[in-house]
Amino acid sequence: MNLTLDGVHTHIGRYHILQGVDFQAPAGLTTMLLGRNGAGKTTTLRTIMGLWRASRGAIRLGERRLDGARASDVARAGVAYVPETMAIFSDLSVRENLLLAARAGAMDEARLDWIFGFFPALKTFWASRAGSLSGGQKQMLSIARALIEPRPLLLIDEPTKGLAPAIIDGLIACLKDVKERGATILLVEQNFRVAREVGDRVAVMDNGRIVHAGEMAALAEDAELQGRLLGLSLDSHQ
Amino acid sequence: MTPGARRPDLLPALTPLIVAAIAAPFIGSLPTFVTLTVASLAMGAMLFVMASGLTLAFGLMDVLNFGHGAFIAVGAFAATVVYQFAPHGSLATDLASFVAALAAAAVVCGFVGYVYERLLIAPVYGRHLEQILITIGGSIVIEQLLLALFGTEPLDLSPPAAFRGALVFGQIAVEKYRLVALGLGVLLYVLLLLVLSRTRIGLLIRAGVENREMVEALGYRIDRLFTAVFMAASALAGVGGVLWGLYQSQARAGMGADLLVLVFIVIIIGGLGSVTGCFLGATLVALIANYAGFLAPKLALVCNILLMVAVLLWRPRGLYPLGAK
Ligand SMILES: Nc1ncnc2c1ncn2[C@@H]1O[C@H](COP(=O)(O)OP(=O)(O)OP(=O)(O)O)[C@@H](O)[C@H]1O
Ligand SMILES: [Mg+2]
């Protein structure tokens, strides 16, 4: 399903953070949301998710308006969220974390095996307390939680932060496969290699606005544009 | 370190033994020590029942409910009404009326809790000062209603004949009712643990205590979950009120407010949101209250406040904080 943001503004307290965000994440594609630190990427995902309320503008998933809905309704409209903080439930086991994410009740064994294929550590530590996992394993769990049932739209905030390269490869394979299965993905990512590998479309933010939107491949080839939009903090040869 | 290899943290669970071991030589006589300890375990079980719901509600929504004590009193008065009409005489009827009194207290308090949460607490989520004021106000209203309905004199709430008297082992006498209270407290503790670990709603409560926003982002209505937990907390307070009222042989409008300080000490010592911590905290507080009450009656409450300070110096977030690494 297409995700469309139309002139979205978000205030946090008295700060005006999103100042008219317009972009589309087309159905069945992976759209990268890039931008410097503090550009408003996380705020955009949280606003879509209903964790911040848009003070103006429209957010649509397909035909359905998401703005003004509470987060639980956004989730039930088919949106899965992997927050920047991972937000796993550390007092619960790996299994219990996934069980809560599976709203239908029982978990689908075949789907679980598919997830274990990308993140084998989750199988190993199935019964362990999530709080005792390593940072990378927690990240896998947070992503697995978003995948345990098929959802039309995935919002993923910096999933590769602090991950070892081998795990990043697993994640890339996973994201490609999720897309194959028909999901729409909106992915915030600082690692340009990952962005180039999985991104179809790209939207670049700065100061709470979209400053560039287009094909990811075109941005990947245009070093001058990258430098202008993303600054030097990103290393395209990573 | 590999996940899961972590040894369970047993040290806090040993603290009641340590307290008992320190107190024993001061108390001297064995029968007195046993009597005090059994009394403590029974009182701890009752405090646990009164506090267990509050710690979950507090852990889940950060709601400071200073009106929790009112539900304790409502439960005790509900029991007096049941006992007015209940038959008694045989063991069977005594047990049946006891269960009926507990059930009535739970139902009435659950219902009052629902109204109280929707009317008073829902409008002030996340605003602590207002919560304190409005819940104190709410508890005053409930207490005054109890006074208006039942009069200003405490009502008699003696335990049924089946629970009176003591079991005697040589020099040691153990009151039957204390064993009943202890048994019920342990039973409720086990039931709560089972609900929290085996049911989806239990998992949601534990998850919500740690991160309610993420629970909502997974598609669950955290406000409805909280209303349910609040009702359960009120019902448990009511059950605790029946137990405590029978222990004191009376129902008094102010009985809950008097207990509230101890209840708060219990949940702070235990770690907010932790049921096991609450059970331990209640046992510790009751041990100190009884031992100190025997050795230096005027210092009982002071000793419990010192206990809280000591525990918090050792474990700033309580004995079994949730979400800890
Ligand atoms: N809770 C908050 N209260 C006040 N300001 C906030 C809050 N959250 C974010 N901001 C501000 O909003 C702006 C955008 O933050 P946001 O987290 O959306 O950026 P980001 O693009 O995700 O950055 P990063 O790459 O560092 O994760 C920043 O200036 C930030 O300071
Ligand atoms: Mg961010």
- Token digits of residue A126: 């199935």
Ligand 1 atom at shortest distance from the alpha carbon of A17: 12
DSSP-derived secondary structure letter, B159:
P
Q: How confident is the model at residue B32 (pLDDT cuts 50, 70, 90)?
A: very high
Element (H, E) at B62: none
Closest residue to A92, CB basis, from B203, B213, B219: B203
Tell which wins on pLDDT, B210 or A44.
A44
Chain B residues close to A51, C-beta within 8 Å: 213, 216-217
CB-CB under 8 Å, A131 with B323: yes
CB of residue A17 inside a 6 A radius of ligand 1: yes
| CATH number of the A1-78+189-238 domain | 3.40.50.300
| pLDDT beyond 50 at B109 | yes
Task: Report the distance separating Cα A18 and Cα A38, nearest Å.
Answer: 11
Taking residues A154-160, report their average pLDDT: 96
Query: Is 70 exceeded by the pLDDT of residue B7?
Result: no
| Chain B residues with beta carbon closer than 8 angstroms to that of A132 | 1, 3-4, 6, 325
Find, among B260, B314, B269, the residue nearest to B287 by Cα: B269
Pairing assessment for the beta strands A3-12 and A15-25 based on DSSP bridges? antiparallel
Sign of the Cα torsion A117, A120, A124, A129 reads negative
Q: Which of A16, A33, A42, A81 to mutate to test the pocket of ligand 1 (most atoms within 8 A of CB)?
A: A42
Q: Is A37 in the pocket of ligand 1 (CB under 6 A)?
A: yes
Over the stretch B263-291, which tens digit does the pLDDT of each residue have?
A: 999 999 999 889 999 999 999 999 999 99
Token duo for residue B1: 């370190």
DSSP state of A5: E
**pLDDT computed for residue A26 by the predictor:** 97
Mean per-residue pLDDT for B178-194? Answer: 96
Q: Ligand 1 within 6 A of A12 CB?
A: yes
Can you tell me the mean pLDDT for B242-252?
96
Residue pair A88/A81 in contact by the 8 Å Cβ criterion:
no
Q: Pick A70 or B325 by higher pLDDT.
A: A70
Residue B325 — very low, low, confident or very high, per pLDDT cuts 50/70/90? very low
Mean pLDDT score, B252-272: 94
- Say yes or no for a CB contact (<8 Å) between B213 and A91: no
How far is residue B83 CA from its own chain's centroid?
Answer: 22
Structural domains in chain B, sorted by start: 26-314 (1.10.3470)
Q: Taking a C-beta distance cutoff of 8 angstroms, is the pair B266, B21 a contact?
A: no
pLDDT of B4 reads 44
Whose structure tokens read 């509470």? Answer: A70
Chain B nearest C-alpha distance from A133 (Å): 5
B71 neighbors B143 (Cβ within 8 angstroms): no
Question: Given B1, B217, B323, which is nearest A49 (Cβ)?
Answer: B217
Q: Helices marked H in chain B — which ranges?
A: 11-27, 30-61, 68-85, 91-116, 128-150, 176-198, 200-210, 212-217, 222-248, 255-270, 275-295, 300-314
Q: Is the CB of A35 under 6 A from ligand 1?
A: yes
What pLDDT, on the 0 to 100 scale, is given for residue B1? 41
Task: Determine if residue B160 is left, alpha or beta; phi over 0 gives left, psi from -120 to 50 gives alpha, anything else beta.
Answer: beta
CA distance, residue A212 to nearest chain B CA (Å): 29
Q: Which pLDDT tens digit goes with each residue over A190-223?
A: 899 999 999 999 999 999 999 999 999 999 999 8
Distance CA A99, CA A127 (A): 12
pLDDT band at A238 (very low <50, low <70, confident <90, very high): very low
CB contact under 8 A, B4 and A132: yes
d(CA B100, CA B86): 8
Nearest ligand, CA A44: 1
Least Cα separation, residue A134 to chain B (angstroms): 8
pLDDT average, residue stretch B18-29: 92
Cα(A13) to centroid(ligand 1), Å: 12
Q: Provide the pLDDT confidence category of residue B131 given band limits of 50, 70 and 90.
A: very high
A217: Cβ–Cβ under 8 A, 6 or more apart, which residues? A196
Question: By CB neighbour count within 10 A (0-12 exposed, 13-18 middle, 19+ buried), where does A186 fall?
Answer: buried
Q: What is the pLDDT of residues A110-135, one digit of tens each?
A: 999 999 999 999 999 999 999 999 99
Q: In which band, very low, low, confident or very high, does the pLDDT at B323 lie, cut at 50, 70 and 90?
A: low
**Could you tell me if the CB of A227 is within 6 A of ligand 1?**
no
**Predicted local confidence at residue A150, as pLDDT:** 96
Taking the centre of ligand 2 as the mean of its atom positions, its distance from the CA of residue B222, in whole angstroms, is 25
Ligand 1: residue whose CA is nearest its atom 17: A42
CA distance B279 to B186: 9
Q: Please list every residue in chain A whose beta carbon sits closer than 8 Å to the beta carbon of residue B213.
A: 51, 71, 87
Which atom of ligand 1 has the smallest separation from the CA of A35? Answer: 21
Task: Let me know the angle formed at the C-alpha of A81 by A76 and A85, rounded to the nearest 5 degrees.
Answer: 145
DSSP per-residue codes, A138-170 = HHHHHHHHHHSS--SEEEEE-TTTT--HHHHHH
Flag whether pLDDT at B28 surpasses 80.
yes
Q: Cα of B121 to ligand 2 centre, how many Å?
A: 33
A-facing residues of B in 206-265 (CB < 8 A) are 206-207, 209-211, 213-222
- Average pLDDT rounded to a whole number, residues B102-122: 96
pLDDT at B322 exceeding the cut of 80: no
Atom of ligand 1 nearest to the CA of A41: 21
- Residues of chain A above pLDDT 90, percent: 87
Q: Which residues of B touch A137 (CB under 8 A)?
A: 3
The model's confidence at residue B61, banded by pLDDT at 50, 70 and 90, is confident
What's the average model confidence in pLDDT over B142-168?
93
Question: Residue A118: its pLDDT value, please?
Answer: 93
